[in-house]
Amino acid sequence: MAACTSDDSKDVQDDFAGFYKITSIESETAVDLNNDGIESTNIFLELTSPHTTLNGLVEGFYNPGSPQNFAEAKTSNEVNYSQMNFNFPEQNISYLNFDMELNIPILLDYSTSMNTYGYFFQENRQIDFSDFNPTFNSQFGQIMGCTRDNENHFTLNLKKRMFNFYTKEWILLDLTADYSKV
């Protein structure tokens, strides 16, 4: 279980539900997610910048302003219980194999992951997350914690494997993602 704390004195259960979009993602480790040959710790910029394809074309893939990419916090009829779908960007990487010794990685697109978490509001205004689908979600990453900054913003800390085009390998990153209510 990961925890989310809140500094806001309002009833967080009433104002937390809604849609949130990612506004920044940072990592301590620099990676090249868009295949431009430049590694950066600004993961948000790497995801939203145009991606260089195998034939040299440059095109964009991840759009944080698209509603299907919004995180959704929804309440249930049960007291003190709700569900969170983070819809965190997930790279879909494939490999072209022109001969048996050469595998060329390509980014097909982005899907979303880190979904079906429950969140529980505690008396001390802490929010605990519970993964309802750990076998599935564990292959995409692990929530390490969350801070409720105010009624319109939260920060998520997670560990996630992402493909670094510069080194041509998967790497485990410690990420900090900021979300704002839309």
- Give SS3 for 74: strand
Separation CA 102–CA 128 (nearest Å): 45
Listed as own residue / partner, the contacts of 98-103 with beta carbons closer than 8 Å and 24 or more positions apart are none
For tokens 């913003």, name the residue. 153
For tokens 């697109």, name the residue. 109
Contacts of 156 (CB under 8 A, 6+ apart): 86, 143, 145, 146, 175, 176, 177, 178, 179
Mean pLDDT over the full length of the chain? 85
> Considering the entire predicted model, what is its pTM?
0.86
Burial grade of 145 (CB within 10 A; 0-12, 13-18, 19 or more): middle
Low-confidence ranges of the chain (pLDDT < 70): 1-14, 76-81, 98-101, 122-126
pLDDT digits (tens, 9 = 90+) for 56-86: 777 778 999 999 999 999 886 655 568 899 9
Tokens of 115: 């979904």
Domain ranges within the chain, ordered by starting residue = 2-181
- Please give the angle made by the CA atoms of 16, 87 and 171, to the nearest 5 degrees: 125
Q: Alpha helix (H) ranges present in the chain?
A: 12-16, 43-48, 134-137
